[in-house]
Amino acid sequence: MSAQESEKLANFPSECLEVKPLCEKILSYFPNADIDQVQRAYLFSKKHHEGQFRRSGEPYISHPVGVSEILADLRLDLPTIMTGLLHDTVEDTEATLEDIEREFGQTVAELVDGVTKITQLSFKNTHEKQSENIRKMIVAMGKDVRVILVKLADRLHNMRTLGHMPYEKQKRIGQETLEIYAPLASRLGISSIKMELEDLSFRFTHPDRYYELVQKVSKKRKEREKYIDDVKKILEDEIGSRFKGGFEIQGRPKHFYSIYKKMAASNLDYEQVYDLLAFRVIVDNIPQCYEILGHIHTLWKPIPGRFKDYIAIPKANNYQSLHTTVVGPGAERIEIQIRTHEMHLVAERGIAAHWKYKSSGKVDVKMEEQMEWLQELVSLHQQSGSSGEFLENIKTDLFDSHIYVFTPNGEVKEFREGATPIDFAYAIHTDVGNHCVAARVNGKMVPLRTRMKSGDTVEVLTSKNKTPSKDWLKYCVTSKAKSKIRSFVQEEERKRARQIGQDLLEKEFRKYGMSLGKNLTDGKINDIEELKKTGANNVEDLYVRVGYGKMLPKQVVKAVAPDAKTLDEKKEEESFLSKAYKSAVQRKKKSRSIISVDGMDDILVRFAKCCNPIPGDPIKGFISRGRGITIHKADCEKIFAIDHDREVDVAWTVKSAPEGVERMARVRVVAQDVPGLLRLMSEVFSSLGINIYNAQIRTTKDRKAVCLFDVAVKDTAQLSKAMQNLEKIKGVLGVTRVTQI
């Protein structure tokens, strides 16, 4: 420690001793830091959180201190670390943003505001809350990426202490972390946070499998540590005898979640998984990376198809390394990564590694290329029709497996694995995507649905007469392509609905001997109360509402001229929605419907087969031509292609379906093929009063039993309980709900 650092810590205030380790971390990489500001932020937070406690029983201040220590581990600037200390004060105490700005300046106040806005929202249900929170987080991140760094640190510290929460909350938060926060940390290049979030999420979402794996790994700990030491010694001797530059060698076992993914992907036991160890060789410059690669391939035989050059073509998060897998001592497969010191810094700290400190203490940010991805997400927020759609798009964009293809000019484009020339076309330009007709891959004509592979050279052919179709959504994977296609299709549907609405209104007005143009104007819509209630701002909006069946032509005529009489009542024509409602009233069931539409429970509804909602699922309703209202799960992928002008308010009228009208659900169980398994699974359902209507069982080549059960359940709680009990059966490897029946 330097004399300057020692002096700053020598007379550390006794009331701030809790943040002394934090200040020591800050001074280790920022010797000129004004740690008095950190102490003031700590005291402010401690004062306002006085009397508040965590679920563990610890004083609440332990949480913001823990968050700030994580931020200091990333070597972030003082405003970010102070935000970590203050991030819950506005949300959970009487402190205001004005107080924070007055005490700590505008920058800190804006960062605290960005973090606070993500959580200060109210929602109808958990799914909507999650979707909108993620949406707000991405928008805030677009304004200042430090907001998401604080949010990631906040989530990591909460995950470390999640064991004090109820089981259901542990599982829900763990799943959300696995789907959103861990991939987000990965996309920002912060591998240290990503790996810890994955392992913690794995522990809470699949506790039995997590602890079983921990036990198996622990059994071979000494053997593994000796093997790592042996390999490091061989590498040091071999490279040291041939290589003139300086180098550093690291060895480590892969983290639990990555091992579990390998096991699950190939249906393997732990003992059958290879490639469990990873080694790093860190050198001074890029030419040395390739020189070391040559020495390693001379020493051990490389495995074909396992070499990746992320130095020449970096990942989207700016990660760079050479990856190779070789057959090491004892015929063990080992992965070796070769990188420079600068690459190692970026690999560990990602976007945080780009923050450089000037003498003034201000931050110089050098991350324009990486921020392009972030700006695309912000743009996606503006184009997405709903928070649910945005959340699904985010999950797609955070997907970790990517391919790299070339334009005819040699420019590299990155895509999620499974991408097609349609994705490529929209990545070039929206107009190219909207008019693409075919593609040429490596000089050969291919259909647009062809999946691209790394190294392909792709060229897209266009035609002015070609436009997107709904079918394209089946063949693209990027959120940008999907969003643009949906936007185009929905706009075309809106145009058709507008024309249909105008035609229907003209016809209806003629029946009454009236002129549409003279009797319906923008001004009249604002003057007539019945029309104002529809939410239409002008005549065009009204045409669309009528075209979609949200309003009957007759209603419009009666609103404009209440006393008008038809010329010929017998020729009166109702729109498809009127017929659906009329049919529903005539066929009203003796028992009350389990779905209400706009507060009415006697409306004809049908449940979508694509997602098969059951009571307890968040739901959305859409008008279906000639079939009343179709009920989808709120996160169903199909609804993103439906124009949201056709959406109506729907809700479950009961928490559980009454006897005789239970909903059908399908459960998929993958297990080891052992005697008595079917009996044990059947007992789980019968013990909960669940009837099995159909069961299909098949055995795979590797002696795994794949079982499909169609069961009648009252609600999601009953289904979840059954799935939890199935997971407890010895030999069961996985239990999932299959939404499409």
**DSSP letter assigned to residue 17:** G
d(CA 269, CA 183): 26
Helix (H, G, I), strand (E, B) or coil at 424: helix
Question: What residue type is 216 in one-letter code?
Answer: K
Q: Which residues contact 355 (CB under 8 A, 6 or more apart)?
A: 75, 76, 77, 363, 364, 365
Handedness of CA 116, 117, 121, 127 (dihedral sign): negative
Q: Which of 24, 73, 91, 103 is catalytic?
A: 91
Please say if 91 is a catalytic residue: yes
Residue spans of alpha helices (H) in 464-562:
479-511, 516-519, 522-527, 529-532, 539-547, 553-560
d(CA 730, CA 741): 27
**DSSP letter assigned to residue 55:** T
Cβ distance 692 to 662 under 8 Å?
no
Q: Which of 24, 73, 92, 506 is catalytic?
A: 92
Tokens 């800190």 belong to 108
Please say if 208 is a catalytic residue: no
Tokens 């400190």 belong to 357
Task: Identify the bridge partners of residue 436 per DSSP, sorted by sequence position.
Answer: 462
d(CA 340, CA 245): 12
Cβ distance 403 to 458 under 8 Å?
no
Cβ distance 493 to 643 under 8 Å?
yes
Q: Which residues contact 626 (CB under 8 A, 6 or more apart)?
A: 576, 579, 580
**DSSP letter assigned to residue 178:** I
Cα diameter, the chain: 102
Cβ distance 384 to 393 under 8 Å?
yes
Task: Identify the bridge partners of residue 606 per DSSP, sorted by sequence position.
Answer: 630
Q: Which of 735, 622, 612 is nearest to 665 (CA)?
A: 612
Cβ distance 616 to 716 under 8 Å?
yes
d(CA 596, CA 379): 35
Read off φ and ψ for residue 355, nearest 5 degrees. -85, 115
Handedness of CA 289, 291, 297, 303 (dihedral sign): positive
- With left for phi above 0 and alpha for psi between -120 and 50, is residue 91 left, alpha or beta? alpha
Q: Which residues contact 406 (CB under 8 A, 6 or more apart)?
A: 412, 413, 455, 456, 457, 458
Q: Which helix (H) or strand (E) element contains residue 652?
A: strand 650-652
d(CA 428, CA 345): 32
- Catalytic residue IDs: 91-92
